[in-house]
Amino acid sequence: MRKAADDAFRDECGIFGIFGHKDSSAHTALGLHALQHRGQEAAGIVSFDGEQFHSHRSLGLVGDSFNRIEVIERLRGHSAIGHVRYSTTGETVLRNVQPLFAEFDFGGLAIAHNGNLTNAYSLRKELVSRGCIFQSTSDTEVIIHLIARSSYGSVVERVIDALKQAQGAYSLVVLTNDAMIGVRDPSGIRPLVLGELEGAPLLASESCAFDIIGARTLRDLEAGELVVIDNKGLENLKPFPHRDKRFCIFEFIYFARPDSIVEGTNVYEARKRIGVELARENGVEADLVVPIPDSGIPGAIGYAAEAKLPFELGIIRNHYVGRTFIEPTDQIRHLGVRLKHSANQGTLDGKRVVLVDDSIVRGTTSTKIVEMVRNAGAREVHMRIASPPITHSCFYGVDTPDRAKLLASQHDVEGMARLIGVDSLAFISIDGLYRAMGLRGRDAERPQYCDACFSGDYPVPLADCNAESTPNQLSLLDDQV
Ligand code: SF4
């Protein structure tokens, strides 16, 4: 479902936790496998057996790191948390791979984080000036030091105290000697779902991680909700000052797996509805609707149904091309797109084609695909995009290029169409996107989602970040603190 490595918003991270189950580590490994689309650079699991914590963290895919029974058997215990990572802060080295673990005066604590703290630099600088020594360059370690320095008595109070100082986006799963804690930031930007397997509570970024192990999805954690799961049961708290919920709308466009239920909505159905709205707003005379696979498929199905045009697989994706195959030179990038996609000439020759994709980031993939479709004989190529133009970077845990490298930040729609080489180009509007999500439109109501990458309206202040520059602030600061 991925595009060329440099030309997509890349998922942030996926987290998973299970408390009180005999097969906790095996289930965590399976849950992480289902969340692999959220991060492919590293994976880790920390388990607790009642006396000791056990950890295995590794670069690479879940299937490569947790495919041996000895690894799972070493991760003993009735509780475990796990993490798949695509780095958004900190370089990808083993010391940054999560879950992070530390010994405190109260015992051990492991933490898995999905999101990005926007004031991590200030916090880290202050902590370093007070003598804290950091092992990693990850913003998650800031939370660990804030917990360590908190003067509150219980672990839960110390976690709350730490998070009250943090700004930005975070969904966390924390494992201690006695409990598993799950928490979402007050704006609920990143997802976190509660589930249950044979009486054991579960937490995960997406419900697809529960489906793979036959578990039940119970509900999303609310924005700003913290749950404490221990032998006594589940307690839920709302410890943070209220903020309006602003869940990441891009989860529906691209990040989440289509079979997940996110915020009570089936992602695949949401993507089809976006395609329907896209067709209503931006219809064009054509013969075929063709998705750019895989992420453009649900939108194209919705578009074709609404436009009453045939849906055809005019571009075939090769699923056996690994990420590492694509080297970062312009020449190989060009080759990379051809390796991943090929045009189906028998379908496209002589046709007026509507190409549907989920988004345009830099535009390099789109340009190559349009060229390929034209070379296959398409008479006209119209591109329809199932998201509004991405004009701003994300600072909330998603890997995005600097703003200046986003095609839509530099060109208007006509300019983009010229560069990509299409006969016409159109995007769904922000209002259309909100309508597809069952609302009347962004302007009709207060924004219900984070849509900052389309609107520039950042729901949480960018304390240490410059909206015009790189989103990955902390990684730039390694030499400074
Ligand atoms: Fe999601 Fe975009 Fe907001 Fe980032 S800026 S959280 S990708 S909607």
Q: What is the CATH number of the domain that holds 201?
A: 3.60.20.10
Residue whose CA is at the smallest distance from ligand 1 atom 3: 450
How many angstroms separate the Cα of 458 from the Cα of each of 54, 187, 301, 413? 39, 11, 31, 23
What's the domain range around 345?
268-444
Same domain, yes or no: 284 and 216: no
**How far apart, in whole angstroms, are the C-alpha atoms of residue 440 and residue 431?**
8
Query: Which one is predicted more confidently, 290 or 329?
Result: 290
| Neighbour count for residue 355 (Cβ, 10 Å) | 28
Domain assignment present for 456: no
For the domain that residue 391 is a member of, what is the CATH number? 3.40.50.2020
Q: Are 139 and 81 within one domain?
A: yes
Q: What are phi and psi of 318, to 5 degrees?
A: -85, 115
In a shared domain, residues 203 and 320: no
Nearest Cα neighbor of 424 from 376, 370, 387 is: 370
Residue 99: asked if its preceding bond is cis (omega within 30°), the reply is: yes
Number of other CB atoms surrounding residue 78 within 10 Å: 18
Give the list of residues 6+ apart from residue 31 with CB closer than 8 angstroms, or none: 16, 18, 82, 202, 204, 209, 210, 212, 213
The whole-number pLDDT of residue 137 equals 84
Question: Lowest mean pLDDT: which of 164-173, 177-186, 323-332, 459-468?
Answer: 323-332
Q: What is the pLDDT of residues 288-315, one digit of tens each?
A: 999 999 989 999 999 999 999 999 999 9
In a shared domain, residues 274 and 242? no
The answer on pLDDT for 3 being more than 50 is no
Kindly report, residue by residue over 405-427, the tens digit of the pLDDT: 999 999 999 999 999 999 999 99
Residue 473 has pLDDT above 50, yes or no: no
Q: Is 208 a residue of the active site? A: no
Residue whose CA is closest, atom 1 of ligand 1?
248
Confidence of residue 361 (pLDDT cuts 50, 70, 90): very high
Ligand 1: residue of 248, 263, 458 to mutate (most ligand atoms within 8 A of CB) is 248
Q: Tell me: do 192 and 327 sit in the same domain.
A: no
What pLDDT shows up at residue 468?
59
**Residue 6: what pLDDT?**
57
In a domain, residue 234? The reply is yes
Q: pLDDT at position 136, please?
A: 86
Phi/psi-derived region of residue 9, left when phi > 0, alpha when psi is between -120 and 50, beta in every other case = beta
Contact residues for 249 (Cβ-Cβ < 8 A; gap 6+): 433, 437, 449, 450, 451
Q: Provide the pLDDT confidence category of residue 472 given band limits of 50, 70 and 90.
A: very low
Residue 22 has pLDDT above 50, yes or no: yes
**pLDDT at residue 400, as a whole number:** 82
Compute the average pLDDT of residues 146-154: 95
Of 252-266, 307-321, 375-389, give the lowest mean pLDDT range.
Answer: 307-321
Residue ID of nearest Cα to ligand 1 atom 6: 248
% of the chain at pLDDT higher than 70: 90
In a domain, 413, yes or no: yes
Does 478 score more than 50 pLDDT? Answer: no
For 42, the 3-state DSSP assignment is strand
In angstroms, rounded to a whole number, what is the distance separating the alpha carbons of residues 436 and 269? 10
Domain check: are 210 and 309 in the same one?
Answer: no
Report the mean per-residue pLDDT for the chain. Answer: 91
Gap between the Cα atoms of 416 and 362, Å rounded: 10
pTM surpassing 0.85? yes
By CB atoms closer than 10 A (0-12, 13-18, 19+), residue 110 is buried
**469 pLDDT above the threshold of 60:** no
276 and 364 together in one domain: yes
Instruction: Specify the residue with its C-alpha closest to ligand 1, atom 2.
Output: 453
* Pocket (CB within 6 angstroms of ligand 1): 9, 189, 248-250, 394, 396, 398, 450-453
Flag whether 453 is in a domain.
no
The three-class DSSP label of residue 45 is: strand
155 part of a folded domain? yes
Confidence band for 74, pLDDT divided at 50, 70 and 90:
very high
pLDDT confidence of 481, banded at 50, 70, 90? Answer: very low
CA atoms within 13 A on the CB side of 207: 16
Are residues 357 and 440 both part of a single domain?
yes
**Of the candidates 153, 164, 158, 343, the residue with the CA atom closest to the CA atom of residue 241:** 164
- Looking at residue 431, its pLDDT comes to 95
For range 361-371, the mean pLDDT: 93
> Can you read off the two tokens belonging to residue 139?
């913003």
Per-residue model confidence (pLDDT) at position 258? 97
pLDDT interval class at 326 (50, 70, 90): very low
Note whether 234 and 275 are same-domain residues: no
Q: In sequence order, what are the residues at sequence separation of 6 or more whose Cβ sits closer than 8 angstroms to the Cβ of residue 142?
A: 117, 120, 123, 124, 127, 166
Average confidence (pLDDT) over 20-43: 96
| 64 pLDDT tier (thresholds 50, 70, 90) | very high
The pair of structure tokens assigned to 405 is: 């490298």
> Which of ligand 1's atoms lies nearest the C-alpha of 400?
7
Contact yes or no for 253/451 (Cβ under 8 A) = no
Confidence of residue 321 (pLDDT cuts 50, 70, 90): low
CB half-sphere exposure, 170, CA atoms < 13 A: 31
Quick one: pLDDT at residue 87? 64
Probe target for ligand 1 pocket from 171, 185, 390, 398, with the most ligand atoms within 8 Å of CB: 398
**326 and 410 share one domain:** yes
Residues 133 and 225 in one domain: yes
Question: pLDDT band for position 25 (50/70/90)?
Answer: very high
**pLDDT value at 480 more than 90:** no
Q: Is the pLDDT of residue 120 over 60?
A: yes
Q: Is 148:168 a contact under the CB 8 Å cutoff?
A: no
The answer to whether residues 229 and 339 belong to one domain is: no
